[in-house]
Every structure is written in C-alpha cells, then in structure tokens.
Amino acid sequence: MEKERCLLVAVQLSGEEENDMEELGELVEAAGGEVISSVVQNRQSVDNRLYAGHGKIEEIANYVKELDIDTIIFNDELSGSQIRNIEEIVEAKVIDRTNLILDIFAKRALTKEGQLQVELAQLKYSLPRLIGVNKNLSRLGGGIGTRGPGEQKLEIDRRRIKEKITDIQNQLEVLEKVRETKRKKRMKDQVPIISIVGYTNAGKSTLLNALMDNEYKEEGENKKVFAHDMLFATLDTELRRVRLPGGRSAVFSDTVGFIKKLPTQIVEAFKGTLEEIKYAELIIHLIDINDENLMVHKETTTELIEKIIGREIPVLTVYNKVDKILDEKTSFLNNGIIYISAKYKYNINMLLEAVDTKINGIKNFYDLKIPNEQIKTYYWLYENRATENVEFDGDGVSLRVLLYENEKDKYENFIGEKDE
Ligand SMILES: Nc1nc2c(ncn2[C@@H]2O[C@H](COP(=O)(O)OP(=O)(O)OP(=O)(O)O)[C@@H](O)[C@H]2O)c(=O)[nH]1
Ligand SMILES: [Mg+2]
C-alpha cells in the first residue's frame, strides 16, 4: 500500500519552546505516513479560526497541489472548527498532533485493556469535534486519524459515542478490579515493584530485557518484552520478576513511554495502566544520553511522573545508550546517577546493586554456623543468598553468607563474627 504523503505544520510562538519537527516526523512514520515537507510559521499567537495565518494556509494549499499531499499534520491540538476551516482551504485531510498520537496508539494496542483505553481516548477526542469534520473529506476512507483499535472504524454519531464511552468505562472498571486483585497479591507477597519510566524510545523495554538476563537471574520463566526503534513500541504495562544481587526478588515494570504534549485524553484513558507506577517503591527514570532534547524530555517525564503519582517516590536517574558515546566499557557513577547501555549490557549489575541497596538496604558478609537440626535454614540460604566457604562437619555446617542488614537479626544465633 502506498504511504500517505504528509506535510508537517507548526506555529512557533515567540518565547515558547521550539517545535521539534523531527519528533513530529517520527510520529508520522510511526503512524505509517511519509513526510514530504514541513512548514513552520512564527507568530505572536495562534489564530482562532485557522490556527496559522490565512496567508500561510493558502501557501499550504499550494503545496498540497504541487507536492501531491494527502494529509496535513499540525504539531498541536486543534479545535474541530479550526480543522474544518483549514480543510476548506487546503482541500486535504487535516490531522492534529493529538489525533496522530491516538492513531499510533490504535495501531499498537494489542491487549483488550489497551484497545479499550485507546478507543476511550479516541471517542473523548472526537466528541467535541463531531461538527468539525468536513463531510466532503470523509475520514471513513481510512488512513491516519481514522483508525480504531483492532481496525474498527470510529463511530460518528454523538449519542452512540456517549453510550460507547459509558460502556467502555464499565468494561475498564472490571479490568481495573482484576489488576487490583493482582496488585494486592503482590503486595501480600511483599515483592517490591520498581517502575521503569521515561521518554518514548529511551530504551525502557530493552532495559527490562537486560535486567531479566542478569547474572543472578532465576531459572526459567520471564518472557522477553517487545523493544523496537519506534515511538510508542510499548503500550501495555509489563511486569517481570528479577532477582537482585543480594538474593531478594523484585518486580520491574515497563510501561508506555512519555512524550511532550501527551494528549490528556490518553493520560486519562490510560489511568489504569499508568497508575501502576503509583505502587512502585522506586522509579527508574531512564534517559537517552544522546537525546538532543535531553533537558526538555527529562522535564516532560518528571512532570508526568508527578502528575500521575501525586506523592513522593524515590527516583533513580539512569542514563542509557552510553555505548554511543563511549568506546570502552567504562564504569562510572556520579552523584548517584548511573550510566548504562541496556543494549550492550554495560553496568546492568551496577544498576541492580543500586536498586537492591535502595530497596533493601546494605548487605554484609557474615560467618554462620548452623547445627544439623536447623539444616533447612542452610538450604534456604544456599538457594536464596550468596554463600561461600561452605564446610560440613559432624555437628552442622559453617559458611560465609551475604545478608541484608535488616534480616541479620533472624540469623543472630548462628552468627560468629562479622567479616568486613
Ligand atoms: N545504542 C543503543 N541503543 C539502545 C540502547 N537501549 C535501547 N536501544 C535502542 O533504542 C530503541 C528503543 O528501545 P526500546 O527499548 O523499545 O525503547 P522504549 O523506551 O521501550 O520505547 P517505547 O516503548 O517506544 O516508549 C531500540 O532500537 C533499541 O535497540 C542502548 O543502550 N544503546
Ligand atoms: Mg518500550
């Protein structure tokens, strides 16, 4: 199938952050379109009727003819009437940033919950815009901005949309209950959750896969998660159990990536998924160290974390993709910041150590002597903690074992001297 030919448009307001046309282009590609050209207009404020200036829109109308453009993509959220007014002049389909992102989400949603969440966000987006759609340029033909999850076509009738919204909300509530039950079970098991959070494409899913494949890993289980060089490769929250260096387990979660101007409809509809972050004991904020807009993206993520969580959760800042700037496998940690390569597995164990210490506190080696009557304690330690110098004699077993400071009291009766 031929790709939709897209023209990107942005209005640059003075004093506002610069429009990232490269990112908008990546979003278009993720939605299956092809970027033909882009236009940025500098203005003091946006136009109520046409968003950009009238002259500019006419200029765009010419490009549409000259360059055979199918779709014009605006880097902002537009009102229904703005979309209709522009479409009348340019005679091409007009899509705004929100609709574009919703479209990518619709393409990517695989699970039932993901699909329902996307559909809810799409319906909420379309509700105030129904009158805005130019009937001559019917969106039912297909392409960017018209896809529903699972290739369903979006409903167009207002009353039916409202009914559908209620219906989806009810279905999501049921799924939320299931999620809550699972969460309660995890909390009862006292397995701490660590959420990997970050801008889209930072390498979160790659990191989760690297964490699962560490040297302390548990046998079997743990299916790899999908990681790919595209925006919003991940839509659903995935949880994986990983063994930390000291022997205790933790559950790491990988979730949907963040982006500038993440549509509020998405934040609301994905509440269930995103709120998983709330229950984390620790957040790993993963940042691509090569990102040209690192500061802006870091801030975007921090703001979204605060918005979603609404309480203080310790954050471990981790810079990823250091392999792109360093030839050698350097191990450095500065001011509590960790530098890793998820892809080439640099410093993954160091990161796990840092997580272990944050969650469980420090560890020390102790010399224990366990009598035969309590040999089960030895078996447990052998399976679950790092042990060395194991020696059996007639009365029992002596060994060196790495214990967390906060569990050492349990073994007090067996402890000889502490060994530094
Ligand atoms: N060079 C290099 N590439 C990496 C590294 N980590 C991840 N990548 C690449 O970056 C791209 C995105 O990785 P993902 O793990 O899918 O990123 P994500 O943060 O999960 O992205 P979304 O789910 O789309 O938000 C993939 O092509 C990865 O191979 C790294 O340490 N070094
Ligand atoms: Mg991902």
Q: How far apart are CA 162 and CA 139, in angstroms?
A: 20
- The two three-digit tokens of residue 185, written as one number: 């079970």
Q: What's the pLDDT band for 330 if we cut at 50, 70, 90?
A: low
DSSP for residue 139:
G
Average pLDDT estimate for 119-134: 77
- For ligand 1, the distance from its centroid to the CA atom of residue 257, given in whole angstroms, is 11
User: According to the model, what pLDDT value does residue 150 have?
Assistant: 52
The minimum-distance atom of ligand 1 relative to the CA of 228 is: 16
Pairing of strands 415-419, 363-371: antiparallel
Chain segment 216-257, per-residue pLDDT in tens: 666 556 788 888 998 998 888 888 999 999 999 999 999 999
179: pLDDT strictly greater than 70: yes
- Return the CATH fold of 4-151: Rossmann fold (3.40.50)
Find, among 273, 269, 241, the residue nearest to 255 by Cα.
273
Q: Ligand 1, residues 206, 236, 260: which to mutate, most atoms within 8 A of Cβ?
A: 206
110: pLDDT strictly greater than 60: yes
Q: How far apart are CA 142 and CA 147, in angstroms?
A: 7
CATH of domain 190-360: 3.40.50.300
The minimum-distance atom of ligand 1 relative to the CA of 258 is: 25
Q: Calculate the CA dihedral of residues 287, 325, 212, 276 and round it to 10 degrees.
A: 0
The minimum-distance atom of ligand 1 relative to the CA of 346 is: 31
Nearest residue (by CA) to ligand 1, atom 17, is 203
Find, among 142, 121, 120, the residue nearest to 2 by Cα.
142
Q: Domain 363-419 has what CATH class?
A: alpha beta
Q: How far apart are CA 238 and CA 182, in angstroms?
A: 13
Asked if 383 contacts 249 with a C-beta cutoff of 8 angstroms, the reply is no
Share of the chain above pLDDT 90, in %: 62
Domain ranges, ordered by start, for the chain: 4-151, 190-360, 363-419
Given this chain, do its domains 4-151 and 363-419 carry the same CATH topology? Answer: no
Q: How far apart are CA 239 and CA 253, in angstroms?
A: 4
How far from the centroid of its chain's Cα atoms is residue 395's Cα? 54
- For ligand 1, the distance from its centroid to the CA atom of residue 49, given in whole angstroms, is 40
Q: How far apart are CA 325 and CA 23, in angstroms?
A: 22
What is the rounded average pLDDT for all residues in the chain?
88
Nearest residue (by CA) to ligand 1, atom 27, is 229
Chain segment 336-378, per-residue pLDDT in tens: 678 999 999 988 999 999 999 999 999 999 999 999 999 999 9
Nearest residue (by CA) to ligand 1, atom 8, is 203
Please state which of the ranges 88-92, 172-176, 183-187, 285-289 shows the lowest mean pLDDT: 183-187
The alpha-helical segments, DSSP class H, found in 109-240 are 112-126, 158-188, 204-212
Whether the CB of 262 sits within 6 Å of ligand 1:
no
Asked if 369 contacts 396 with a C-beta cutoff of 8 angstroms, the reply is yes
Q: What are phi and psi of 78, to 5 degrees?
A: -110, 155
Q: How far apart are CA 338 and CA 418, in angstroms?
A: 30
Asked if 337 contacts 319 with a C-beta cutoff of 8 angstroms, the reply is yes
- What residues are paired with 8 via a beta bridge? 38, 73
On whether the pTM is more than 0.85, the answer is yes
- The two three-digit tokens of residue 265, written as one number: 């409809």
Q: What's the pLDDT band for 187 if we cut at 50, 70, 90?
A: confident
User: According to the model, what pLDDT value does residue 141 have?
Assistant: 53
